[in-house]
Amino acid sequence: SFSVQPTVTTALPRVSDIVLIDINGDTALDIVASSFTDNKVVYYPNTLANPGTFGSEITIASAIDGAGDVDIVLLDGDSNLDVVVSAFDADKIVWFAGNGDGTFGAENLMINSVVKPGSFDLKDIDNDNDLDLVVANAVNQMDLPGMNTSVIEVFFNSSLTFTKDTNSVTDDKDYLFNVFFENIDDSNNNGITMDILATDIFGNLVHYNRNASNTYDETIISSSIANPSSVAFMNIDNSMDGLKDIILSSATNGPGNDLVWFKNNGAGSFSAETIIDATQNNTFKFTMADFDNDGDLDIASAAYSDDQISIFNNQTIVLSNDEFENERFRLYPNPVSDYLRFDISNLSEVDYAIFTILGEKLLDGNLNHNERVDVSRFNSGLYFFKLIESGRVFRFIKN
């Protein structure tokens, strides 16, 4: 359940993006936000003495014409978080070096060769230990007559100089809403291990793969959603197969499906969509987390025309009891700090795997009766232990 908390601010017009992150190094999650009309990026510090309440606005950067999407990353090689923001009306993406205490340096230019930059993402796609850039612009020929339709461009980072790839990813989309790097099909072409997932709000959900000729192959992922908006790539079905699934929302105002998901079958193949919801209007944005602490990812979505936020609880995962069929299995201690121990009756050994809540496999192996597994290096949180042969899944908490 949720209760209304004190308003953080009413003085930040046309908020473009919002991020929860510890921006000032005090271990508490702060709110970072951009304002399109005030041309700035600011943050509101979480009050340590009263967690969940936030202090006065602190400016990270101003004079960013049309401040849009924000990303907070380790960009310049030190251990301090840096802030990257698109300046829609200035036709550039800029970044600000963090000092680790909530203060930031002067504006640095990242790129200025994409008109009206909108959605962007930063990941190391060529495995050279720095972050590369993909960016899409959110315009069409009606907005800027005479220019190409919306484009997606990739820029490779070398010592904080960003160089455009030889070929554009695409230049024939109408209004690109969301774009990011993901490893969709496990391919590796000329050292590039990441693909691109994007939504054209007047077109399709698309996946791009960089081929051996350094051009990009497009795959359309068919959907009932006519106006795809936000997309996520996460393990929504908790299948423990290590594969992330696609979740898609709709920008349509009116009848139709508003949230759907596609099961990942591996090698870039996805099952037909499964409908999550068809009751909202203009579901431009959603986020995912385990809101009810039951071990699977739930969805919170914002319906623009309905003036509402909805929560969808995931019912996918079914956790096992300690007893099943001819096997008796005990997992202890739970919660655990260092060594996870097992008691297995009627079996001399089992094959197992341990996964994060997002479906990432951290550990696997074979266990004999009363053996233990060292989980002391795991971060605190919820994990899943899977018995391979039976497919049974147990959860445990690492302190």
The answer to whether position 50 is within a domain reads yes
pLDDT of residue 236: 84
Q: What is the pLDDT of residue 315?
A: 67
Alpha carbon separation from 42 to 58, 78, 355 (Å, rounded): 5, 22, 36
Tell me whether residue 199 is in a domain: no
**Residue among 224, 229, 246, 228 at smallest CA distance from 237:** 246
In one-letter notation, the amino acid at residue 328 is R
Comparing C-alpha atoms, which of 176, 110, 180, 94 is closest to residue 143? Answer: 176
Q: How many domains does the chain have?
A: 2
Rounded Cα distance between 184 and 259, Å, is 20
Domain boundary among 68, 96, 111: 111
Assign residue 376 a region (left: φ > 0; alpha: ψ between -120 and 50; beta: otherwise): alpha
The CATH number of whichever domain residue 66 belongs to comes to: 2.40.10.500
Q: Name the phi and psi angles at 90, rounded to 5.
A: -105, 0
Residue type, 359: G
Does a structural domain hold residue 81?
A: yes
Residue finishing a domain among 50, 83, 111: 111
pLDDT value for 216: 95
**Tally of CB atoms within 10 A around 132:** 22
18 sits in which H/E element: strand 15-21
Which helix (H) or strand (E) covers residue 260, if one does? strand 259-262
**pLDDT tens, per residue, the chain with 399 residues:** 667 778 899 999 999 999 999 999 998 999 999 999 999 999 999 998 888 889 999 999 999 999 999 999 999 999 999 999 999 999 999 999 999 999 999 999 999 999 999 999 999 999 999 999 999 997 765 565 555 578 999 999 999 999 999 999 998 888 899 999 999 987 777 778 789 999 998 889 999 999 989 999 999 999 999 999 999 999 887 666 678 899 999 999 988 999 999 999 988 899 999 999 999 999 999 999 877 777 778 899 999 888 888 888 886 544 443 333 334 567 788 889 999 887 766 666 788 899 887 778 899 998 876 678 999 999 888 888 888 877 777 888 888
DSSP class of 192: B
**Residue 79 sits in which domain range?**
1-111
> Rounded to an integer, what is the distance from CA 313 to the centroid of its chain?
18
* Among 111, 136, 152, residue at a domain's last position: 111
**What is the structure's pLDDT at 212?**
87
Beta strand extents in 27-183 (DSSP E only): 30-35, 40-44, 58-61, 67-73, 82-87, 92-98, 104-111, 117-123, 132-137, 150-158, 161-164, 170-173, 176-182
Q: Does 256 reside within a domain?
A: no
Place of tokens 């001399």: 348
Is 161 inside any structural domain? no
CATH code of residue 348: 2.60.40
How far from the centroid of its chain's Cα atoms is residue 213's Cα? 29
Domain assignment present for residue 66? The answer is yes
**Structure tokens belonging to residue 297:** 């990812």
Any residues with CB less than 8 A from the CB of 279 and at least 6 apart, and which?
258
| Cβ 111 vs Cβ 155: under 8 Å | yes
Q: Which two tokens stand for residue 93?
A: 């993406």
Instruction: Say if 106 falls within a structural domain.
Output: yes
**d(Cα 65, Cα 166) in Å, to the nearest integer?**
28
CA 317, CA 359: separation in Å to the nearest integer?
A: 12
Strands 228-234 and 245-250: what pairing? antiparallel
Residue 29 lies in a domain: yes
pTM tops 0.85: no
